[in-house]
Structure 1
Amino acid sequence: MPCKRNGFSLIEVMVSLVILVIGLIGIFNLHIMSKQGSFESFQQTQASYFANDIINRMRLNVSELSNYGSPAGTHYSGELLVKPTECSGVYRCSTTELRAWDLYEWQSSFIGDSEVDSGGSIGGLPSPTACVYVNSNDVVIVMTWKSVRKFNGTNENYSDFVKACESSGATRRILEIETAIF
């Protein structure tokens, strides 16, 4: 007499387990890519904030506009400028002192020196460089930083000024803002 089979065979269980594991790996990979994209979006938002911060500081101190940058471009990176006279609170600063304070505050923000926890920097952008180009009333701010993912594109379409702002490298991201200040 033929015997009657009940339940799943071991092979069917193994196949369904493999399919489940592949699906879970796919979901996990999708989650990681989503986190990386979210973090890159956050970095882009920070870079935009820092660029607009210095533009607004320049608008408030128009008489010193040409000294915030130069036609050749002025580079600011990981080494903090010497701390100038503090222009906050009740102390009244000259426009030159205010420019020096603006640049110091701005640079300490984007390199993360203004946000420190347990002795380490927790704010700013990773490995940032900022370049300021000022020619008459035209202003270009370029922010570059290190990203978590590699960039598959090319920097060939950027101007020489942007290329000179430490923008080369597979993981470097670039934000460029052009404006006019009157």
Structure 2
Amino acid sequence: MRNQQGFTLLETLIAFIVLVFGLLGAIALQAKAKQATYDAMQRAAALGVANDVIERMKANTEGALAGSYNGNIASSDTQDGGYVSCINSGCSAAQIASFDIEHWRKSIRATDNTGSLSDAMICITTNGGADNLAINVVISWDSRQELTSNAGAGAVKADCGTNDDRRRVLALNSFLFV
């Protein structure tokens, strides 16, 4: 009897099958990582827009107290050419608010490659008196991935956009004291 050296065909086939399953797992992991990166980029963009909304409202306290910012801004809205550019020119509080709103509308228009949020909507509400103001900013957008929503998020989604399992919501609250 001779000693056999090397691998048999069956051993090679089993090693190949184990390798294939390992590579398929790595590919699936890569796809999930890419999806998580995309979702994180959208959340970061929404947070940046929400912070910009609050900071611009704090800079224009007269317009914020007058309620010039209250309302909904959708990425599907047509661009308003009637606003006055307040860069290097004097503007009233209402004109600054109109300029800011148009800026936010442009910043969420993913269809024009100027924003990263798909089908986004910004909902701004303020509550308060003459010396203080509570600012509520809700931004909702569509994601590529479905998630089961809980009851609390569904109500917020319905108020600012549509209530479905692909809709994501970010809410930011702040206060303005005059």
Which structure 2 residues correspond to residues 58-69 of structure 1 after superposition, within 5 A?
A: 58-65=57-64, 66-69=67-70
Pair 17,161 (structure 1): closer, same or farther in 2 beyond 3 Å: closer
- Give a deviation string over 1:1-20, Cα, whole Å, max 9, x none: x3542211111100000000
Runs (5+) with no aligned partner, structure 2: none
Within the candidate set 146, 166, 170, 1:171 is matched to: 166
CA contact (8 A) 2:73 2:123 kept: yes
Q: Which amino acid aligns with 1:132?
A: I
Distance apart, 1:39 and its partner CA: 1.2
Alignment of 1:27-176 (within 5 A): 27-65=26-64, 66-69=67-70, 74-77=71-74, 78-83=76-81, 84-88=83-87, 90-112=88-110, 120-136=112-128, 137-154=133-150, 156-158=151-153, 160=155, 162-176=157-171
Deviation at 1:105, TM superposition (A): 0.6
Distance 1:95 1:159 in 2: 35
Query: Contact conserved, 2:140 with 2:157, CA < 8 A, in 1?
Result: no
Q: What SS class does the counterpart of residue 151 from structure 1 fall into? A: coil
Q: Are 1:11 and 2:10 counterparts? A: yes
Partner of 1:26: 25
TM-score of the superposed pair, with normalisation by structure 1: 0.85
The question of whether the paired residues in 2 share the 8 Å contact of 1:167 and 1:174 is answered with no
- In the TM superposition, what whole-angstrom CA distance separates every residue of 1:87-118 from its partner, at most 9, and x where no partner exists? 11x221111111100111111112247xxxxx
- Per the normalisation by structure 2, the TM-score is 0.87
Q: Which amino acid aligns with 1:76?
A: I
Following the alignment from structure 1 to structure 2, what is the Cα–Cα distance between the partners of residues 140 and 159? 17
Shift of 1:28: 1.0
8 Å Cα contact 2:106-2:115 kept in structure 1:
no
Extract unaligned runs of 5+ from structure 1: 114-119
Task: Tell me if the contact between 1:80 and 1:108 (Cα under 8 Å) persists in the aligned partners.
Answer: no
* Alignment correspondent of 1:117: none
Moved more, 13-22 or 164-173: 164-173
In structure 2, C-alpha distance between the alignment counterparts of 1:161 and 1:19, rounded to whole Å: 47
**How many residue pairs end up in the alignment?**
169
Percent identity between the aligned chains? 24
Separation in 1, partners of 2:95, 2:114: 28
